[in-house]
Structure 1
Amino acid sequence: MDELRKIDLNLLLTLHALLTEKHVTRAAVRLHRSQPAVSHALAQLRDHFDDPLLIRKNGKMTLSARAQTLLPPLEASLYGLNNLVGSPEFDPSTTKRRFRIAMSDYAARIVLPSLLVYLRQNAPGFDLAISQASREMMLAQLEEGEVDLALGVFPAAGSAIQKETLFTEQFICLADRGFLPENGQLTLEEWLAKPHVMLALLPDAVDEIEKALIARGLKRHICVALPHWSAAVSLLPGTDLVLTVASRSVIPERYHESLSRFEPPLPLSAFNYEQAWHSRKNTDPAHQWLRRAIVMSCEHFIPHDA
């Protein structure tokens, strides 16, 4: 306990805000304090830990190596203290909390609508801040405490990352039927000869489709690579482009009447769509409740064979 006497515990709250936001002004807004006050607190923290904590790199603030090691135990300790001095009973109807969730616009389109209906009815004090990133970046953000939850496909998550399957997804193809054979199907040779739309945050990403092609020594022509699920479908009418995509992202009633949906002409394994979080969030009752709410929201999805 001697070390605790050397620091104002309020500084630990400021430290958590600074390490999470990586920005003095945003930390000040989060703490409802002035920017000069938070800058002064940062100077005190740097002196206490004998470390810069936040360093400027490539035009933005990043965590020092020491700060990266401080964040996980700091966050776990603050949650523990909050539970100690707070109300012993968690009540979602009265709790006020802001959660940072990373997801693609695929998840934003199919998960958020039903989730928000449920939250507004049962936890109106829950606010969501949604961000988008690659799956690798999402995992890094979970590790560093930048986000509370991530929704996506995470086959290479580290041991500290917990995962829960929300649903099993599969791939389908979409194309303008005017550029398809009469039977509405493509052979593998015909499919490979077509120009393709690829959905990825990074143009050169290697997703499950690319991995399946590489394993067979095959390659397709990527004519357009973009990160926007909804926009990708609108590129297809009147063109010979083919889109191979997760089935729930394209509901028949929502895409152009000229488009035809068909099975991919090569085996593409089904995959689990998951929510992921850092293990330090395991005992947080509000976080647990939100995870259950997301699972319940996913039960309202339209089946992928609709």
Structure 2
Amino acid sequence: MKKLTSINLSTIEILCQLYLKNSTKDVAVTLGLSQPKVSRALNALRDVFDDPLFIRKNNKLVATELTHALYDSFSEMLACTDSIESDVINSITAPEPPIVISTVPQLEIGLAQQVINEANKSRINPNLAISTSAWSDRSEQQLVDGDIDAAICFTPSTRKELLSKSVIQHRGGYLIARAEHPIWDSPTIDNMIDYPIVKLVTMPFPANKSPIGVYAKSKGKQVQVYATAPDLGSAASSLLNSNAFMIVGVKSAVNFLSSIKGLRASKIDYPQDKLLLKDFSHPTVYLWLRRSLDGKVLAPLWLQQTLESYIVNAHK
């Protein structure tokens, strides 16, 4: 048997519930967890005790002899936790896992700090940890599985397990290039298409189609892609070291890029922006949150409200 360093009260509770319910699915519903999380906890316990703990028979999990012995000790331990002093609880339990938010790079700046500030204001756990991850095609399944807690993106979800809420639309793009770029002599879209473009890995348009690219084709030209950047920092580096430009619609991302020495940003004139977005819908930002089996949103209300407010403010 390995050391018990990986076992915390949550894992113990999962084992006790499995003992009583004989089903990872039923335990997941009872504890408000995803079924994969319950299975991972069981596998971790099997590794610690070097015992299968439960054997599947007739579609039910049947406890082994070791599990019968563990249940008596673990259930007694859980029954005592309410009377344990809070400082003792903190010393023997693992820290709460961080809230993980998957987001596109245009909406990552200041996101974690905003959530932490709101948690402190609402007197949520002062030690609450927040982390962000890059949004991708896998984020939808990660949210369904409970591996992330929310997602911010430009794509609606049709999964019934998720709330996919339209929060706001972009209303106007900004041209960004190095301060000495010749485009600033005449920043029209007809001149932009003569220069290469820097794209972010996640674009707010269907199939990653670029409006500037479509416009260039209508003029018999092709916009060259100088770089596809995974984040705003990489995009800024590409812009500073080339004659490339980029167009961004999220104001907070524009503010971040324009704050970097050597870069300049300017709002595209309305007639130019309208021409650029011809045949395109205005990009929409969506917030995804996981639902329980009865349709209830699992994320706490304060987190949902904080993320919606962050998205709206990022466009001001």
Give the TM-score category using the shorter length: 0.5 to 0.7
Q: Contact between 2:177 and 2:264, CA under 8 Å: does it hold in 1?
A: yes
- Match for residue 109 of structure 1? 109
Q: Does 1:254 find its partner at 2:256?
A: no
144 and 97 in structure 1: CA distance in 2 versus 1, 3 angstrom threshold: closer
219 and 283 in structure 1: CA distance in 2 versus 1, 3 angstrom threshold: same
2:167 maps to amino acid: L
CA distance in 2, matches of 1:23, 1:165: 33
Pick from 33, 36, 43 the counterpart of residue 19 of structure 1: 36
Superposition deviation, residue 220 in structure 1: 2.1
CA distance in 2, matches of 1:148, 1:117: 18
Q: Does 1:228 find its partner at 2:245?
A: no
Q: Contact between 1:184 and 1:262, CA under 8 Å: does it hold in 2?
A: no
Q: Contact between 1:24 and 1:38, CA under 8 Å: does it hold in 2?
A: no
Q: Alignment length, in residue pairs?
A: 245
Superposition deviation, residue 240 in structure 1: 0.6
Q: Contact between 2:198 and 2:235, CA under 8 Å: does it hold in 1?
A: yes
Superposition deviation, residue 97 in structure 1: 7.1
Superposition deviation, residue 102 in structure 1: 1.5
CA distance in 1, matches of 2:47, 2:308: 39
CA distance in 1, matches of 2:36, 2:285: 29
Q: Does 1:179 find its partner at 2:191?
A: no
Q: Contact between 2:170 and 2:283, CA under 8 Å: does it hold in 1?
A: yes
- Match for residue 308 of structure 2? 295
Q: Contact between 1:173 and 1:243, CA under 8 Å: does it hold in 2?
A: yes
TM-score w.r.t. the length of structure 2 is 0.61
RMSD: 4.1
CA distance in 2, matches of 1:143, 1:272: 22
2:226 maps to amino acid: C
Superposition deviation, residue 215 in structure 1: 11
279 and 206 in structure 1: CA distance in 2 versus 1, 3 angstrom threshold: same
Q: Secondary structure at the match of 2:193?
A: helix
Superposition deviation, residue 266 in structure 1: 1.6
- Match for residue 84 of structure 2? none
- Match for residue 21 of structure 2? 9
48 and 239 in structure 1: CA distance in 2 versus 1, 3 angstrom threshold: same
Q: Secondary structure at the match of 1:147?
A: coil
- Match for residue 59 of structure 1? none
Identity, % of aligned pairs?
11
- Match for residue 282 of structure 2? 270
- Match for residue 143 of structure 2? 142
Deviations 1:177-213 (A, max 9, x none): 433245440333x3222111111169xx932526972
CA distance in 2, matches of 1:47, 1:17: 22
Q: Contact between 2:227 and 2:238, CA under 8 Å: does it hold in 1?
A: no
Q: Does 1:153 find its partner at 2:143?
A: no
Query: Which structure 2 segments of 5+ residues have no match?
Result: 1-16, 62-95
TM-score w.r.t. the length of structure 1 is 0.62
Q: Secondary structure at the match of 2:109?
A: helix
